[in-house]
Amino acid sequence: MYIEKVKKNMNLPETVRIFDTTLRDGEQTPGVAITVDEKIGIAKKLDQLGVDVIEVGFPAASEGEKEAAKAILDLGLNAKVCGLARVLKNDLDAVLDSDVDYIHTFIGTSPLHREYKLKMSQEQILDKAVEAVEYVKDHGVLVEFSAEDATRTEFPFLSEIYQSVEDAGADYINVPDTVGVMVPSAMHWLISKLNKDINIPISVHCHDDFGLAVANSLSSVEAGAQQVHATINGLGERAGNASLEEVVMALITRYDLPLDIRTSQLVNLSDFVSRITGVRMPPNKAIVGENAFAHEAGIHVHGVLEKAETYEPITPEMVGHTRRIVLGKHTGANALRSKLDEYGIEMSEKQFCTVYDQIKDLGDKGKKVTDADLKAIAVTVLGRAKKETVKLEGFAVMTGENVMPTATVKLRIHEELKTASKTGVGPVDAAINAIHSLVSETTDIELKEYNIEAITGGTNALAEVFVVMGDMEGNHATGRSTREDIVMASVEAVLDSINKILMVK
């Protein structure tokens, strides 16, 4: 609503080209190295996604880089295949030898780069830039020129060098915020000023040192930039680059720009790149994170179930994601009913309340309740004895090194309270022995079968205990309990089984 009010004041282009640099700047993420075969796999998926340009690497860096560039070019992709080169003949020749159809060349222009890295004057840098662009154009290849550290370069010199490379035949100029120092308003000002001096398309390459790479990229588009450099998952040097998935979805859904991107492939591609690079995305990563379309709070879940747009700006299917209703301490009744309906589990209101209370209790203890946990809890509640002749009133266990495992159990049997303490080879055995001693006057029972299974991984996983008890008359009954405490789950399962046997007597 409010975006529409300000769009008329923007200098939006008709569309925006997406220049993907995952295989170049993304690979510069500390600790990441991508093999030739892995680069080919990512390049194929990027092409299927629909990016306009794939920057495949820095061919002058190694034979492997050059081999990767050639291999990707041989795939016959729809996207332009680009190689990076400094404004040095050896670098440029390495890219040209790779037969790519697009060269991205650069040289530092800021006072810091001029004085400390290059030790060159403005005139020398300008001459090198122009020579490089002319050399590439003499070979009939598209060229994009970057003034490295542009956002810390004096504007008069920055404009001069961009105008000079344009006159030399550059097809695109790129404005890199090399160390991520810009803010959106400053980026808008800079691109707007350059737009008045430059006639060829302006591209931007923003880094995320202050978490502003996407915002600065979008502000640049508002000022007329026609191309954005980005990486899958925001990979890149230091804090990374502008995240491709965030830039793309913002441009399409917030600015209504027609990008030829198959957005439903974004989550799959994000996961693919994450697995190859070993850089896992945080759950709350926008667009592609595990929690991007997850809801736990009761009011949110209720809203989403009634009308998804209440708490989702886009549909999860649009980016290849799925909606998740998460169970925990903030879970509302609507969320739980929705989950139970999803799995076709029907229960009475009393049973529902029992499950609901257990879910909330687990959430209060910091437990993440998975769908598998819910199913186990629901099955346990559904299978409980309808009548509790024997009811647990108290329980304690003592165990440890050089200590005989001892359990004290207090039961209410036919409204009479009874307490017993027994030892065993372990806390579960001790607890069952104590129960057996207390109910022996009521029924002579024996444990026939005992099984335990962790529902999910982790030390806080719920334990599902399944038992079969039998009496001297040949009656058998199953008992089941699901708890984070294995001993308590065992006690509840045994008592459930005993109550079922007593119901048939």
First to last CA, the chain: 69
Sign of CA dihedral 184, 198, 253, 27: negative
Beta bridge partners of 478: 468
Encode pLDDT of 385-427 as tens digits.
677 888 999 999 998 888 899 999 999 998 899 999 999 999 9
Q: What is the pLDDT of residue 304?
A: 59
Kindly give the pairing relationship between strand 53-57 and strand 294-295: unpaired
Most trustworthy range by pLDDT among 249-253, 346-350, 449-453: 249-253
Total-model pTM: 0.78
In angstroms, rounded to a whole number, what is the distance separating the alpha carbons of residues 231 and 319? Answer: 16
122-138 helix and 89-97 helix, angle to the nearest 10 degrees: 20
Q: What is the pLDDT of residue 298?
A: 54
Mean pLDDT of the chain: 90
Q: In the 3-class helix/strand/coil scheme, how is 329-373 assigned residue by residue?
A: CCCCHHHHHHHHHHCCCCCCHHHHHHHHHHHHHHHHCCCCECHHH
In angstroms, rounded to a whole number, what is the distance separating the alpha carbons of residues 441 and 195? Answer: 93
Q: What is the pLDDT of residue 44?
A: 97
SS3 category, 291: coil
Q: What is the pLDDT of residue 239?
A: 96
Kindly give the pairing relationship between strand 102-108 and strand 463-471: unpaired
In angstroms, rounded to a whole number, what is the distance separating the alpha carbons of residues 296 and 400? Answer: 39
Long-range contacts of 339-347 (CB under 8 A, 24+ apart): 339/371, 339/374, 340/374, 340/378, 343/371, 343/374, 343/375, 343/378, 345/375, 345/378, 345/382, 347/378, 347/381, 347/382
Residue environment code for 36-57, b if the CB has 16+ CB neighbours within 10 A, otherwise e:
bebbbebbebbbebbbbbbbbb
In angstroms, rounded to a whole number, what is the distance separating the alpha carbons of residues 272 and 245? Answer: 14
Q: What is the pLDDT of residue 505?
A: 58
Domains of the chain with bracketed CATH: 18-277 (3.20.20.70), 294-382 (no CATH), 390-503 (3.30.160.270)
**Contact present, 221 and 13 (Cβ < 8 Å):** yes
Q: What is the pLDDT of residue 360?
A: 78
CB-neighbour burial class of residue 283 (10 A; exposed 0-12, middle 13-18, buried 19+): exposed
CA distances from 13 to 10, 153, 194, 244, 272 (A): 9, 25, 15, 18, 31
DSSP assignment of 222-287 equals HTT--EEEEBGGG--STT-B-BHHHHHHHHHHTS-------GGGHHHHHHHHHHHH--PPPTT-TT
CA distances from 74 to 23, 199, 369, 415, 458 (A): 16, 33, 48, 82, 46
Residue environment code for 323-335, b if the CB has 16+ CB neighbours within 10 A, otherwise e:
eebbbbbbbbebb
Report the percentage of the chain scoring pLDDT > 70: 92
- Single-letter residue type at 239: A
pLDDT for 23 beyond 70: yes
Q: What is the pLDDT of residue 299?
A: 58
Q: What is the pLDDT of residue 227?
A: 98
Encode pLDDT of 25-51 as tens digits.
999 999 998 999 999 999 999 999 999
Encode pLDDT of 448-505 as tens digits.
889 888 877 666 778 888 888 888 877 787 788 888 888 999 998 889 888 888 876 5
Q: What is the pLDDT of residue 351?
A: 84
Kindly give the pairing relationship between strand 463-471 and strand 202-206: unpaired
The owner of tokens 């030829």 is: 260
Closest CA to 362 of 182, 220, 489, 448: 489
Q: What is the pLDDT of residue 134?
A: 98
pLDDT for 337 beyond 70: yes
In angstroms, rounded to a whole number, what is the distance separating the alpha carbons of residues 229 and 178? Answer: 12
pLDDT for 116 beyond 90: yes
The owner of tokens 């409980």 is: 384
Q: What is the pLDDT of residue 366?
A: 61
Residue 388 Ramachandran class (φ > 0 left, ψ -120 to 50 alpha, else beta): beta
pLDDT for 297 beyond 60: no
Q: What is the DSSP letter of 313?
A: S
- Single-letter residue type at 213: A
Kindly give the pairing relationship between strand 463-471 and strand 445-454: antiparallel
Identify the band that residue 211 occupies on the pLDDT scale cut at 50, 70 and 90.
very high
Q: What is the pLDDT of residue 104?
A: 98
Encode pLDDT of 370-379 as tens digits.
676 677 677 6
- Single-letter residue type at 292: A
Q: What is the pLDDT of residue 295?
A: 66
Residue 183 Ramachandran class (φ > 0 left, ψ -120 to 50 alpha, else beta): beta
Q: How many CA atoms lie within 13 A of 188 on its CB side?
A: 13
CB-neighbour burial class of residue 18 (10 A; exposed 0-12, middle 13-18, buried 19+): buried
Closest CA to 462 of 386, 390, 355: 355
In angstroms, rounded to a whole number, what is the distance separating the alpha carbons of residues 165 and 177? Answer: 19
